[in-house]
């Protein structure tokens, strides 16, 4: 009985894979048309990534990057980011994948933000990190993670990571796209060019002009 059930389950999984794989629309990035396309970061950007370096210029070092170094500086959020997207690791160009190293000093936060072009899966490698996300029906999910624990953030959902431990924290997020993009709530509202009119913000947030101006001033000082 168990063998029969396992076989049916395996067949069902196989059918799901066969149904999903043939359709590029289920992938975040287009399928590559060659084995290797090391990004030429000095060339003009095309619609789907960077042009490829000539094969004659590709070396072994192009396929490797280093995430082992601890940061020496942090931003205003007590956060340091080591890039592993196409801009920091050109080998991911056209491969539909990217990764980063995020370090949070004590009390540091990766503020609420979204990735409009990718699903995020991550593993905590040091410290204690509170990971939270909000679904489109405004349900909040969260959990404190320790080294070896993994999280998943569905594409485009608002989420954050907060160091809740007594020492530094590190996690490695991986995306199913070479360029997931990032949009954080405060930057979207208060750091646009040209600025979003105060009238729209006061009516949307139901606060006074003084509050909006104070937020703008605080962000400008940082």
Residue with the two structure tokens 């899966």: 121
Shared-domain flag, residues 71 and 115? yes
Full domain range(s) for residue 215: 192-220
Q: How far from 98 is each of 37, 113, 164, CA to CA, in Å? A: 14, 17, 26
Give residue 220's pLDDT band: very low, low, confident or very high (50, 70, 90). Answer: confident
In a domain, 32, yes or no: no
94 pLDDT exceeds 70? yes
Instruction: Please give the annotated binding residues for oxalate, written as ranges.
Output: 110, 115, 120
pLDDT digits (tens, 9 = 90+) for 34-76: 888 899 988 876 666 789 999 999 999 999 999 999 999 999 9
Q: How far from 44 is each of 30, 48, 97, 178, CA to CA, in Å? A: 19, 12, 21, 17
Average pLDDT over every residue of 97-109:
97
Shared-domain flag, residues 63 and 149? yes
Quickly list H helices, the chain: 2-20, 185-190, 198-205, 209-221
Q: What is the pLDDT of residue 104?
A: 98
Shared-domain flag, residues 106 and 201? no
Average pLDDT over every residue of 140-155:
97
Instruction: Please give the annotated binding residues, written as ranges.
Output: 110, 113, 115, 120, 159
In a domain, 7, yes or no: no
Q: How far from 128 is each of 56, 58, 132, CA to CA, in Å? A: 45, 39, 13
Peptide bond into 64 cis (omega under 30): no
Shared-domain flag, residues 138 and 199? no
In a domain, 78, yes or no: yes
In a domain, 9, yes or no: no
Shared-domain flag, residues 148 and 70? yes
Instruction: Please give the annotated binding residues for Mn(2+), written as ranges.
Output: 113, 115, 120, 159
Residue in 75, 86, 155, 168 with CA at minimum distance from that of residue 128 = 168
Number of domains in the chain: 2
């Amino acid at each position: 009985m168990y063998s029969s059930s396992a076989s049916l389950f395996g067949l069902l999984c196989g059918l799901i894979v066969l149904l999903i794989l043939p359709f590029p629309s289920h992938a975040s990035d287009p399928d590559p048309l060659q084995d290797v396309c090391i990004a030429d970061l000095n060339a003009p950007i095309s619609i789907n990534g960077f042009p490829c370096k000539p094969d004659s210029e590709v070396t072994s070092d192009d396929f490797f990057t280093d995430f082992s170094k601890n940061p020496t500086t942090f931003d205003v959020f007590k956060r340091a980011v080591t890039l592993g997207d196409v801009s920091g690791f050109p080998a991911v160009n056209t491969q539909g994948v990217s990764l980063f190293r995020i370090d949070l000093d004590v009390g540091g936060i990766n503020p609420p933000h979204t990735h409009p072009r990718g699903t995020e899966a991550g593993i905590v490698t040091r410290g204690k990190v509170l990971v939270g996300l909000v679904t489109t029906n405004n349900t909040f999910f969260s959990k404190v993670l320790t080294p070896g624990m993994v999280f998943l953030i569905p594409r485009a959902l608002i989420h954050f990571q907060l160091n809740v431990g007594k020492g530094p924290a590190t996690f490695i997020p991986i995306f199913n796209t070479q360029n997931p993009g990032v949009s954080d709530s405060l930057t979207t509202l208060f750091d646009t060019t040209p600025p979003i009119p105060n009238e729209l913000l006061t009516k949307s947030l139901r606060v006074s002009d003084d509050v909006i101006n104070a937020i703008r001033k605080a962000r400008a000082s940082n």
